[in-house]
A and B are shown apart, each in its own frame.
Chain A
Amino acid sequence: MYFGYSDDERILGDAISELFRRHAPISEVRKVIDTPVVSAELHNAIGEQGLLGVLAHNGSVYENVLMANAVLEQAGRALLPFPLIEGIIAAYFLSKDEAKASLYEQTVAGDQLVTIAWHAHGATRLEKTDGNWFANGSFYAAPFAASADKIMAFFQGPEPETKTLVILDRNDPAVSVIAEKCMDLSMPLDRVEVVNLTVTDDDILIGMGKGEELWQEAMQLGALFTAAELSGLSDEALKNTVEYTKIRKQFGQEIGKFQALKHMAAEMFVLAESTRVAVIYAAWALEAGTEPEAVSIAKAYASDAANEITGQAIQMHGGIGYTWESDLHLYFKRARRSSSAFGDAYAHREKLLDAITRSSKGG
């Protein structure tokens, strides 16, 4: 019996933490705020480590979910300005499609940047006209789409057999990427418009009509990985805040001596530590192919906890915490964005209760 990361997973986590510290310090995060593009240096570093290929499979069984988790916790700590969840899920899907072997290699090596458009706006359709397939649709929530070479998007209709994941070429004239103003500036979410795009077999992931299943899987993975990011982010915000209370003085003493602040910090610790064990358990459950509701437990808890922790972090800093110069608002905003992505806490609690009531009826 053993609960927690293995030595290998921990060593990887530490190495990645160091990598992000070097190639994506908070100054780099702030550069993205002014110029919302993926840093080539960071992309190269991620490619050199083959990080995007971390999640693997053996038949229908996941491999290295805990490894991926360890990486994403570090990404959360760093507020990594990079579509890492998208890259890992995209690479994972590509690895399941033999015809996409070359794109897989290029993605993992860092030669191609692949992101995913997570939300559809209105109907998204794949239709046949004169023997050719044409795609139309409007998407949003595509992280760093403007920097991407490829964008994966889910076309939901009009027929069940046209529910398909399509790999869009960002440079195709039928694909346009439009910047949106986001509250969380360190992770720009772009809009993607697809107008009469010709779709060939090369653009289809795994197969026409296979989209629904893949999409559900992407949502589940996305929820877990986002919870992992939130776990790292929450812990980092807490740590930085506690350190600040040890040096900031008011009323002639370090503010960390005040019980009011101690109790706030202790409550944040309970939330952060509970998030940590929930996320690691969910990763294990996914890898072990058991308790699928563990992901909902982790995502629901992590979402609320991160909003609470980052908000209290600002409060504990006082006035400096309210400034643009302080990094806390970056954590606070990222927490808000991530908590609502891949199902918010409300949605995951509803999903969980549904699963519980169904299983208690079934026996």
Chain B
Amino acid sequence: MDLRETEQQHDYRMKARAWLEVNAPRNWELVVENYTELAKVLTDWECSMAAAGYVGISVSKEYGGQGLTFMEEIIFNEEMGRAGAPRGINNIGRNLLVPTLLAVASEEQKKRYVPKVMSAEEIWCQGYSEPNAGSDLASLATKAVRDGDEWVINGQKVWTSFATEAQMCFVLARTDTSAPKHRGITYFLVPMDTPGITVRPLKQLNTKSDFCEVFFENVRIPANSHVGEINEGWKVANTTLTFERGSGALGRTAIYMKAFHDLLALTTDLEVPATGSKVIEDSHYRQRLAKSYIEFAILRYHGLNIASQIVNNQKIGPEASMQKLYYSEAHKRFGELAMDIEAHRANYWFDSGLANGKFQLSYLESRGDTIHSGTSQVQKNIIAERVLGMPR
């Protein structure tokens, strides 16, 4: 076991911390209702991270990255969380597209697309989910048909974050309707200004409208727009997940730990309606606060465990599913705790609420965490069948 930071890593952390203190957007929670303004804040933020060399930290210089290691990537993620900084607008491009391209794309594709993510010139969105393909993603119906030198795409995607802002979309589309459902899908790169694409923002329960619907009507893209082999898109999509899970958990822990301390700060003043004592002196809430802290601390250990597997080139198994299930359920409990602690104040948010309504946002968004990227129930099936080997 070796978890001590090297001197260089520590220096990197301190430099990142100082940079974030000056540059991270503040009070951005207050603009989430205003889609245009939120998109602008996140786009500016993406550009300033890119300009300062905090995008593609572990991506090689050849493709416009910083050429550092996965450790620096983790450190910056942690510091972002600690600073309360939002994820930039190109989170999808950085964390899902780039690792996929680096793993399976042609050299030409890597050279063409990766540098523009690094420089924040091209924002990406993800065309995976469909109205009738959520948990059962592999049953997706968006079709791509070959016509001469082109593919013609027809269908509809949903939950496509910031599709209005994106220049590019990676799309899973069915290319062989006769094959078993996992074997007839191809992974395509599609410019969003291609004729036939319509985007409609979709308002979510947290008041944000970043999830969009994207309609494809006879959208024609060049024949070489696919990544990996034709009909191998399911495999391509799955190569992506490891990286996100590795760096994600530690960044997420830092976000949650900051939220925990922000909540703790409220507990010295707020009273428990039932007893009239301060929240921090109330045994029931002390226990629940400690439980949340413990869950977040253990999330960090899970993150270190997976990071260690990545750094030491060990194989990451489907156990990684566990981490998604773990953090999303822990986040949900934390949101509920915060609302219980705020009691009658819980109903007020944004500038009418405590802490700019950030706990309301956390509470509401946690309901999405247990749904996106595979619901908790899907994760449990994966764990039971692929980790524990229970029969299908």
The chain A residues found within 8 Å of chain B, CB to CB, are 1-6, 66, 242, 245-246, 254, 256-257, 259, 261-263, 265-267, 269-270, 273-274, 277-278, 280-281, 283-284, 287-288, 294, 297, 300-301, 346, 349-350, 352-353, 356-357, 360
Contact = CB atoms under 8 A, between A and B. Distances in A.
A263 B377 contact: yes
B308 A278 contact: no
A266 B374 CA distance: 15
Nearest to B305: A3
A331 B390 CA distance: 22
Nearest to A241: B388
A269 B290 contact: no
A256 B388 CA distance: 10
B339 interface: no
Given A246-B389, A352-B290, A356-B264, A270 B307 contact: no
Nearest to A246: B391
Contacts of B291: 349
Contacts of A278: 294, 297-298, 301
Nearest to B2: A2
B302 interface: yes
Contact of A349 (B286, B377, B381): B286
Contact of A301 (B294, B377, B387, B392): B294
B301 A265 contact: no
Interface string B376-392: 01011101110111111
B388 A259 contact: no
Nearest to A256: B390
A263 B301 contact: no
A2 B3 CA distance: 6
A350 B383 contact: no
A290 B193 CA distance: 54
A300 B291 CA distance: 9
Nearest to B1: A284
B103 interface: no
Contact of A269 (B4, B286, B293, B388): B388
A282 B2 CA distance: 13
Given A257-B392, A350-B286, A277 B387 contact: no
Nearest to A253: B391
B388 A242 contact: yes
Closest 9 CB pairs of A and B: A262-B384, A349-B290, A3-B308, A266-B380, A266-B383, A277-B301, A256-B390, A353-B290, A284-B1
Nearest to A280: B1
A262 B380 contact: yes
B383 A3 contact: no
A18 B319 CA distance: 26
A267 B329 CA distance: 11
A66 B261 CA distance: 31
Given A254-B391, A256-B390, A288-B4, A263 B380 contact: yes
Given A2-B1, A288-B4, A257 B301 contact: no
B391 A349 contact: no
